[in-house]
C-alpha cells in the first residue's frame, strides 16, 4: 500500500483535518539511517507531522523545517518538508538505546528528553523566515505539536502520531492526524470530538489493521459529516544535488579549502538526509577554491 495524505474539513467547515499513512517512507528512513527502534519511532513521528504540516504551505517554493531537541540521548531530530508533503529527515543518534514505558510502548519521550525546545521554521520566500518555538512538553512529539499549534499558531488542535516497530526492527505501520477546530465550531461538535479522541485506538493499531487515512479520520470524526478536499501520494524525497554541495564547500571559505586541498587532496561529503556521498578530487576542489576567491 502506498503512503497517502489527505486533507479536508467537516461539512460545516468548523473542523479541519489532515491525516496520513507513512509506513513506507518511515521504513525507508529507518533503513537509510540504520535507526534502532526508539529512533525509528521518533524520526517516524516527526516525518508524519512534517508531511501533514508541509501540505499547509501555500507555495511550491515554501520550505518547512521542524526540529525537536530535548537534550535526551537521541539528540535532535530534524525534518524538512514542502507543500507536496515530500519529507526527509535525520536523527542525531540513530542508535539510541531502546527503552520501554510501563505500558510496553517504546519510550520516545525519554529518548528525546524533556528540557529543550520544539522549533518550526517556515521559509515562505520573505526576507525573514517565520520561526515558532515552544519548550518541550513531553518529548512524545504529538503532545508537543498540540501545544505548538495552540500557543504559536493560536489554533486549538489535536495531534495523533504513531509508529509500530516490529521485534525484528522494521517499521510495519506508521501514520498520523491533525484535527483543528475553528472558532465557529458549535459545542456539540467539540463534545463529540473530545469523546471520539478519548476512546480512539492508537494510530499504529489503526494503520496496522489496514485502515486508510480516510478511515482513520472516520473514527476521529465519528458522527460528524466531512469531505476530503485533497488526496495525494507522499514519500521520502531528498533533493540534494552536487551543485548544492559545491556551494556548501565554497561557503567554507578560502582558508578552509586550502587546508582540505593541502592535507587531504580530496573531500567526501555525505548528505545528512539520504547519506548520498559526493566525492571531490584535488582538481575539483581547486576549481571551487577559485570560486571562493571571487
Ligand atoms: Zn540527500
Q: Structural domains in the chain?
A: 4-233 (3.55.30.10), 242-293 (3.90.1280.10)
Q: What is the pLDDT of residue 10?
A: 97
C-alpha 237 to ligand 1 mean position (Å)? 8
**What percentage of the chain exceeds 90 in pLDDT?**
90
C-alpha 241 to ligand 1 mean position (Å)? 7
Specify the pTM. 0.93
Mean pLDDT estimate for the chain: 95
Q: What is the pLDDT of residue 85?
A: 87
Rounded Cα gap, residues 265 and 268, in angstroms: 11
Sort 42 into a burial class: Cβ within 10 Å, 0-12 / 13-18 / 19+.
buried
Rounded Cα gap, residues 64 and 57, in angstroms: 8
Q: What is the pLDDT of residue 244?
A: 86
Q: What is the pLDDT of residue 141?
A: 97
Rounded Cα gap, residues 156 and 145, in angstroms: 11
| Cell numbers 510496553: residue | 104
Q: What is the pLDDT of residue 282?
A: 93
C-alpha 242 to ligand 1 mean position (Å)? 10
**Which residues, other chains included, contact 85 with Cβ-Cβ below 8 Å and sequence gap of 6+?**
5, 20, 51, 52, 54, 55, 232, 234
pLDDT per residue as tens digits for the range 220-249: 999 999 999 999 999 999 988 898 889 889
**Which residues, other chains included, contact 154 with Cβ-Cβ below 8 Å and sequence gap of 6+?**
none
Q: What is the pLDDT of residue 106?
A: 94
| Cell numbers 467539540: residue | 190
C-alpha 235 to ligand 1 mean position (Å)? 14
Is 117 within 8 Å of 137 (Cβ atoms)? no
C-alpha 277 to ligand 1 mean position (Å)? 9
pLDDT per residue as tens digits for the range 126-140: 889 999 999 999 999
10-residue mean pLDDT profile of the chain (294 residues): values are 95 96 98 97 98 95 96 97 94 95 93 96 93 96 97 95 96 98 93 96 96 98 97 94 89 92 91 92 93 87
Q: What is the pLDDT of residue 207?
A: 97
Beta strand segments in the chain, E? 4-10, 15-21, 63-69, 77-81, 87-91, 117-123, 130-135, 157-165, 171-181, 226-233, 267-270, 277-280
Q: What is the pLDDT of residue 248?
A: 87
Q: What are the residues whose beta carbon lies below 5 Å from ligand 1 (ion)?
A: 238, 240, 271, 273-274, 276
C-alpha 247 to ligand 1 mean position (Å)? 14
C-alpha 240 to ligand 1 mean position (Å)? 4
Is 57 within 8 Å of 111 (Cβ atoms)? no
Rounded Cα gap, residues 292 and 51, in angstroms: 36
Amino acid at each position: 500500500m502506498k503512503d497517502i495524505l489527505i486533507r479536508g474539513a467537516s461539512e460545516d467547515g468548523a473542523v479541519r483535518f489532515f491525516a496520513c499513512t507513512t509506513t513506507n517512507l518511515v521504513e525507508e528512513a529507518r533503513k537509510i539511517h540504520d535507526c534502532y527502534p526508539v529512533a525509528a519511532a521518533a524520526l517516524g513521528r516527526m516525518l508524519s507531522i512534517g508531511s501533514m504540516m508541509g501540505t499547509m504551505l501555500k507555495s511550491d517554493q515554501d520550505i518547512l523545517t521542524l526540529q525537536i531537541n530535548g537534550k535526551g540521548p537521541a539528540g535532535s531530530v530534524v525534518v524538512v518538508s514542502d507543500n507536496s508533503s515530500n519529507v526527509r529527515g535525520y536523527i542525531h543518534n540513530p542508535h539510541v538505546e531502546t527503552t520501554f514505558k510501563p505500558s510496553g510502548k517504546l519510550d520516545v519521550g525519554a529518548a528525546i528528553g524533556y528540557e529543550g525546545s520544539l522549533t518550526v521554521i517556515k521559509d515562505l520566500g520573505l526576507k525573514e523566515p517565520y520561526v515558532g518555538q515552544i519548550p518541550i512538553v513531553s518529548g512524545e512529539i504529538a503532545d508537543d505539536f498540540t501545544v505548538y499549534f495552540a500557543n504559536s499558531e493560536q489554533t486549538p488542535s489535536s495531534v495523533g502520531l504513531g509508529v509500530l516497530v516490529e521485534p525484528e526492527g522494521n517499521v510495519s505501520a506508521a501514520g498520523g492526524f491533525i484535527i483543528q477546530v475553528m472558532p465557529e465550531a458549535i459545542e456539540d461538535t467539540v463534545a463529540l470530538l473530545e469523546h471520539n479522541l478519548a476512546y480512539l485506538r492508537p494510530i499504529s493499531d489503526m494503520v496496522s489493521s489496514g485502515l486508510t487515512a480516510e478511515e482513520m479520520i472516520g473514527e476521529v470524526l465519528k458522527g460528524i459529516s466531512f469531505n476530503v478536499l485533497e488526496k495525494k501520494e507522499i514519500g521520502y524525497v531528498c533533493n540534494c544535488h552536487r551543485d548544492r554541495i559545491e556551494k556548501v564547500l565554497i561557503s567554507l571559505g578560502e582558508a578552509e579549502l586550502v587546508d582540505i586541498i593541502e592535507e587531504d587532496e580530496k573531500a567526501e561529503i555525505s548528505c545528512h538526509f539520504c547519506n548520498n556521498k559526493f566525492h571531490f578530487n584535488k582538481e575539483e576542489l581547486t576549481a571551487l577554491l577559485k570560486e571562493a576567491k571571487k
